[in-house]
Chain A
């Protein structure tokens, strides 16, 4: 499959269909890292195996990458979900990029357009795995006090490096809430309260948008299991609203059963 991927990349680059292929290449410590291939002959550096988990869609909204020109992106299922979400949020449109899809069982997927990629990924049920459900369930079974203490302990390690935000492809705001200083909604220093405010706010801003790629947790240098927050929200949204195309947090209907908002 890797050979086919390289072939596809070469084809896209030499035909001029795209200016850069965003994929994975060999990295340090026996791992992989994001690779930006601009010349067809470099496509042989692309690899694909079980180490390739980073959500590369984070690069689709970065100005330095956008400046390279139309990209093709190696996209696993979570990455395809991300692209679909970016399209819903008007951050990507038909023709902006090409997708070198990879199915859950590791086969290469070809899509004539983004619409068909979006349809493909919509057909795959979006749900937490049983391990993820169990981890969320463990927290749900705690009392509010126990849960508060547990998260306070986790966030005591947070150094406010924002690796979570920067690695999340859906945190693309040019000016993050935390960068607003009139007023300073969220404190800057990494004290307990400030850390809590930051993570809870970010999780809420991802409600209905998070694709559960897990990059936030992987990026965190101090191993805070951040995606538990968004996984809980995913579970709640599924239970309360069912499967929905819309932003759970941003959608309001006049006949909403809750009347406090009126």
Chain B
């Protein structure tokens, strides 16, 4: 991997080159105190002084809702039209190393068996410029799930601030290289840099493998009902999570024309598993809370080969009732 440096002051110029090269840039911006990814035209618009964004960058490849089918009825027949769902050439700037890793979970779910053309196309057309974490807080636990504040996995280009005016720029993939070559003169060869000294220190709180071994035997444990008493059953955790992928499918019509949409859904909602007959396999919140933990830390590791959680802490920060995921995991590991 090539190590370069770029002046902080030159990022604006880099952005200009990226945009004139035909790519839009999504970066964290402050909207009424919520830090969310949005299209920007200038580096000055990028938010600063936050530990982690409120919403993840997942939307760049799996939007809140998207068209998967477009149709119109003609007599007794039906005609398909082209879906309004094209991938725009995009650079996502400023995602954390944990977020860059999460896209591999998203990709794994949508690539297996029947590869999803919409997600694949967006991933192919998106370049990820990550930024290492100089700070972390009590909600972060990336190092417990195999990540780290300066981890390069998943990023195409990873920037680490090494002093007030300079970023280390690690070129990890060809896509990253393509960005650098847009503005070669802005980058210089890096000397010896101790990257880790510029990254936050995130303690390892638990052993992921141990958790994975423990969970199957805990299916009938009373811990789920106890932990989920204050859970309200909203979808906040699933929606802010960078690696949650469950979705709903809804049809919307306007006269003879219609679209079929895919939109975010959550296993935390009471009707997620509700059958038309009225039978609900997960009728109480404890079962739905158990599903969240089991799915991310037991089923997905079994099925996808990786945990469905990157330790970003968003769910815990956003949860209206403080269902702190890390604390719950620690409690699970301490339970008999």
Partner-B contacts on A (CB < 8 A): 27-29, 31-36, 54, 58-59, 62-65, 154, 157, 159-163, 165-167, 179, 184, 187-191, 215, 218-219, 221-225
Contact = CB atoms under 8 A, between A and B. Distances in A.
Interface residues of B, number: 43
Contacts of B34: 157, 221-223
B250 A221 contact: no
A222 B36 contact: yes
Given A64-B286, A221-B34, A221-B318, A189 B229 contact: no
Contact of A159 (B64, B138, B233, B285): B64
Contacts of B318: 221
A29 B284 CA distance: 28
B45 to A, nearest CB: 16
B302 interface: no
A219 B320 CA distance: 5
Given A162-B235, A184-B250, A189 B322 contact: no
Contacts of A189: 64-65, 248, 250, 252, 261, 263
13 contacts: A28-B316, A29-B138, A54-B321, A59-B229, A64-B284, A159-B55, A163-B235, A166-B320, A167-B234, A189-B252, A219-B234, A221-B34, A221-B239
Interface string B303-324: 0000000000000111011101
B235 A161 contact: yes
Q: Which of A28, A32, A34, A35 has the most CB of B within 10 A?
A: A28
Contacts of B234: 161-163, 165-167, 219
Contacts of A31: 322
B170 to A, nearest CB: 32
Contacts of B31: 157, 222-223
A167 B234 CA distance: 8
Contacts of B232: 58, 62, 163, 166-167, 219
Nearest to A163: B234
A167 B263 contact: no
Given A163-B236, A188-B263, A222-B36, A28 B250 contact: no
A32 B254 CA distance: 47
Between B55, B229, B264, B324, the greatest number of chain A beta carbons within 10 A of the residue's beta carbon is seen for B229
Given A64-B286, A188-B248, A163 B138 contact: no
A166 B233 CA distance: 7
A12 to B, nearest CB: 18
Contacts of B324: 27-28
A223 B33 contact: yes
A191 B235 contact: no
B214 interface: no
Contacts of A191: 65
A221 B286 contact: no
Nearest to B323: A33
